[in-house]
Amino acid sequence: MSNKFFQPDRSKYPSMKDDGTLDVDLSSQKYTKIWLGPNHPGVTGNMAVEMTLGGDEIVQAKTHVGYLHRGFEKLIERRLFVQGFPTSIRMCVAEPDTNEYLIARSTEELSGLTDRVPEMAEWLRTLALEMARLQGLLRGVPGQAGTYSLGIGVQWGVYLRDLILDRFEELTGARVYHMYIIPGGVRGLLPSGFKRRMEDNLTDIDDFIVRIRKLIFHNSVFKSRAVGSAVIPKEWIDKFGIVGTNARASGVKRDVRKDNPYLKYSELDFDPPTATDGDVYSRTWVRWQELVQTVDLIRQIMAKMPEKGDIRGDMPNALHWKIPKGETYVKLESGRGEYGMYYVTDGSSKPRRVNLRGPSYTHAIAVLEKMLINTNIADVHATMVSLQTCPPEIER
């Protein structure tokens, strides 16, 4: 385990060959080949990590994806523009609303109708995306401790997440797959009393924020496991294209909401939190700060958004909507980092190409297999969760 009191002597194995590659001879019986997954390793979705162990340390790791391909992009390419969003949300379960927004925004952009999206809808979209981030963080922050078997925080978080899902339920009509952001706008105004109930929930979350800080960040077990574990050096950031909290925890302030503001983010006051060490502890700490910030952002949104307004602009008939030939890349800052969609239209009533590019494509495939080397097998889940790997967005 990566703690300061116990550091194994790895100088003896595996030995290095003359050409610099590792001398891993499985027939020597010094090594064990073991597969993690493909069934939800580290509770993140179906993928597999093929590991070669020397003792309980990983000497080689290879990530495998291909267990979760559902062909959602192709399904969307065979549907009308307005039919895409119910399928898109399945591409990332953790924050489904991000997919809805990307589909809607791409459709509006290529139709040249972005200015028809009403102000009210822009605010409601911002609110939905921040609520999605909040429910993700309520799972993700304590979930990191959960990977070290500290389950109590997860239970607190899941309860509060359920309260946010209650708010989603009354705003959007559904708890998990909201299907709320639609090309042209959104599908409902705030129900009466929503702001008051949301404020009650945020007050509870304020209390949770304090408690979880004490529970996790002032916790000898968590510290001994997380500090110094799975470090992302700053120089990796650009090399691998690392984004989001993973990049910010290594000292690179990279946030689409700030760098390329969309929706109403330019009217909100916030500064993305950063850390310097790039280890599991730092990443969790950055996410905890982001939790604080998201609560604040939701309060700001509710204070600044207008009371009334149209929720959807005049759009072409949903059944005959055709979009001229064109292509676009639309992106947003999801809880895991820059989340984008490449969208091509060819003048017909269906998209020619839909390609989702999520941060896990880098984080979970390339970065993960590099980081696992010399990690204790007990830390693999924690490493995956700390990278916020999300296989559904890798394969779609």
Partner 1 sequence: MKQQTRNNKRINIITMNIKDILTPFTAWSKVVQDPVTIKDPLTREAAPRYRGFHKNDIDMCIGCGTCEDICENQAIDMVPVEGVETKSGDSGLRPRIDYGRCCWCALCVDICTTNSLNLTNEYTWVDADPEVFIYTPGVDKKSWDDKEDGWQKPVPNYHFYGQKRVHMGELHADERKDSFIEFVKGYSKEQAEMEADRCVSCGICTATCPAHMGIPEYIAAVRNDDMEEGMRILYETNPLPEICGRICTHKCEDVCSVGVNGDALSIRWLKRYIADQIPADVEKYNEILYTKDIKKNDKKIAVIGSGPAGLSAAYYLGLLGYSVTIFEKLPEAGGMMRYGIPSYRLPYDQIDKDVDYILSIGVDIKYNVNIGTDITLQQLNDDYDAVYAGTGLHLGRSTRIPGSDHKNVYQSVDLLRDIVTGAPVPVEKKIVVIGGGNVAMDITRSMARLQMEKYGEVNVIATALEDEEHMPADREEIVEAREEGCDVIPAYGPQEVIIKDDKVIGLKVWKCLSIFDETGFNPKFDESDERIFEGDMVIESIGQGMDLSYLSEDIKAKMEFGPRGRILVNEDWQAKGLPWLFIGGDIIEGPDVIHGIANGHRGAMSIDEFLNQGR
Whichever of 159 and 329 has its CB closer to partner 1, that residue is 159
Identified binder of partner 1 from the candidate list 223, 234, 258, 353, rule CB under 8 A: 223
Kindly tell me which of 43 and 221 has the beta carbon lying closer to partner 1: 221
Among the candidate windows 31-39, 152-160, 260-268, 387-395, which touches partner 1 by CB under 8 A?
A: 152-160
Closest by alpha carbon to 222, among 139, 142, 145?
145
What does the per-residue mask of binding to partner 1 show for 318-337, with x meaning CB under 8 A? xxx-----------------
Residue numbers 15-34 binding partner 1 by CB under 8 A = 22
Report in angstroms how near the CB of residue 85 gets to partner 1 at its nearest.
Answer: 8
Nearest residue (CB) to partner 1, 238 versus 259: 238
Smallest separation (angstroms) from partner 1 to the CB of 325: 15
What is the Cα–Cα distance from 367 to 371, expressed in whole angstroms? Answer: 6
Residues 225-284 that bind partner 1 (CB under 8 A): 227-229, 231, 233, 277, 279, 281
Pick the piece of the chain touching partner 1 (CB under 8 A) from 293-301, 305-313, 335-343, 387-395. 305-313
Q: Is 12 in the site for partner 1 (CB under 8 A)?
A: no
Minimum CB separation of residue 373 from partner 1 in Å reads 5
| Contacts with 333 (C-beta within 8 Å, 6 or more apart), sequence order | 244, 255, 256, 257, 339
Give the nearest distance from C-beta 146 to partner 1 in angstroms: 13
191 lies in the site for partner 1, by CB under 8 A:
yes
**Is residue 219 at the binding interface for partner 1, with CB under 8 A as the rule?**
yes
Query: Per-residue x/- mask for partner 1, residues 155 to 184, rule CB under 8 A?
Result: -x--x------x--xxxxxx--x-x-----
Minimum distance from residue 263 beta carbon to partner 1 (Å): 19
Instruction: Annotate each residue in 61-100 with x if it binds partner 1 (CB under 8 A) or - if it does not, as one string.
Output: ------------------xx-xxxxxx-------------
Amino acid identity at 117: V
Nearest-approach distance from CB 374 to partner 1, in angstroms = 5
- 331 burial level (CB within 10 Å; 0-12, 13-18, 19+): buried
Shortest gap between Cβ of 193 and partner 1 (angstroms)?
A: 11
241/309 with CB nearer partner 1: 309
Residues near partner 1, by CB under 8 A: 2-4, 7, 10, 22, 79-80, 82-87, 150, 152-153, 156, 159, 166, 169-174, 177, 179, 185, 187-189, 191, 211, 214-215, 218-221, 223-224, 227-229, 231, 233, 277, 279, 281, 310-312, 314, 316-320, 370-371, 373-374
